[in-house]
Amino acid sequence: MLRRLPRPYDPNLLAGRNPADDAAVYRLVDDLAIIQTVDFFAPVVDDAYDYGRIAAANSLSDVYAMGGHPVTAMNIVAFPMDSLDLDYLSEILRGGADAAAEAGVTVVGGHTVDDEEPKYGMAVTGTVRPDAFVRADGARPGDRLILTKPIGTGVISTALKAQAASGAHVANAVRWMTTLNRAASVAMLAARTHASSDVTGFGLLGHLHPMLHASGVAAAIHLSALPLLPGALWYAKKGLVPGGTRHNYEAVTEFLDWSVDWGDQWLELLSDPQTSGGLLLSIAPESVHAFRQAATRKMLAVEIGEVTEGVPGRIRILP
């Protein structure tokens, strides 16, 4: 649909035209660009405060994915003013404010509309040097693919909605979803990462494929290396899969070469829509050590596969 819109031509718009870009980067002066992104969605967990933190962490993530430094944010709120207690809204906003404070971001305003279902998120503005941000299109053959959070928030929140999720599984998923991608972004820059994107609504394959396609390369990923949230495989096997998963895998299935058959739930997990997912990074093999050195306890640094030569965008699925 975006293709039908007039394409802005402005030499200062450095990123944001390509569908693989996580955020827009706009050069203001020679050595300074702003980076802008917006995201909001309906509740994924029961607790209003956690929901606020998750939505804010998710909104900040696109800035971190490009190596930017978030500075200010504005709240975007939809709320059923007549049917839901306003205390619920104030808890959402408190969660968002706390996540922003952790990121060193100032919340400078916002806008609310009356709506049947609550929705919350932020429009975030950051800064980045015009020559120092990381795009999604720089992956090179031989690079290692690194993931910084486990997969499975979609199936866990679907299990939660079906009242089939264990409290421990939900608490663990919430811990990951509220974790900022800041540490991962710092490590990414330290390792001179070739390509980056955060794993969100399109699922792992839905973010990996455009990265590979835009970079003109293929990849192989190893299912046994995939970090999964505890419970994710179990809920997927029970069919507790979000509605969006099907669209996600239908969009990528023609680009996949399977050399393993571990059951449909693996395709579903690879396509599981993530909320506030980790960074997916393409890093030169000689820089992986630097990345691990810079990694903190607040992130994973799991190698899930490698970039190869081949038909752009193709993905081999190995055991």
Q: Which residues are near Co ion by CB under 5 A?
A: 22, 39, 62, 198
How far, in Å, are 12, 21, 24, 63, 135 from residue 15 at the CA level? 9, 6, 5, 12, 8
Find the radius of gyration of the CA atoms of the chain: 19
Of 58 and 265, nearer to Co ion (C-beta) is: 58
CA angle 51, 232, 193 (to 5 degrees): 75
Neighbours of 161 (CB within 10 A): 15
Min dist CB 148 to Co ion, Å, is 13
Min dist CB 54 to Co ion, Å, is 14
Min dist CB 62 to Co ion, Å, is 4
- Closest CB to Co ion: residue number: 22
Min dist CB 190 to Co ion, Å, is 21
Min dist CB 123 to Co ion, Å, is 11
Min dist CB 226 to Co ion, Å, is 19
CA distance 298 to 153: 17
Of 39 and 143, nearer to Co ion (C-beta) is: 39
Of 170 and 283, nearer to Co ion (C-beta) is: 283
Min dist CB 206 to Co ion, Å, is 11
Q: What are phi and psi of 104, to 5 degrees?
A: 75, 25
310: left (phi over 0), alpha (psi -120 to 50) or beta: left
CA angle 197, 40, 274 (to 5 degrees): 45
Of 198 and 303, nearer to Co ion (C-beta) is: 198
Of 62 and 143, nearer to Co ion (C-beta) is: 62
Of 126 and 231, nearer to Co ion (C-beta) is: 126
Of 70 and 231, nearer to Co ion (C-beta) is: 70
State the DSSP string of 78-125: EE-TTTS-HHHHHHHHHHHHHHHHHHTPEEEEEEEEE-SS-EEEEEEE
Min dist CB 63 to Co ion, Å, is 10
Q: Quick check: helix, strand or coil at residue 173?
A: helix
Residue with tokens 């949230």: 229
How far, in Å, are 117, 146, 244, 312, 317 from residue 226 at the CA level? 34, 10, 20, 22, 11
> Nearest to residue 282, comparing CAs of 132, 182, 150, 138?
138
Of 57 and 165, nearer to Co ion (C-beta) is: 57
CA distance 99 to 73: 11
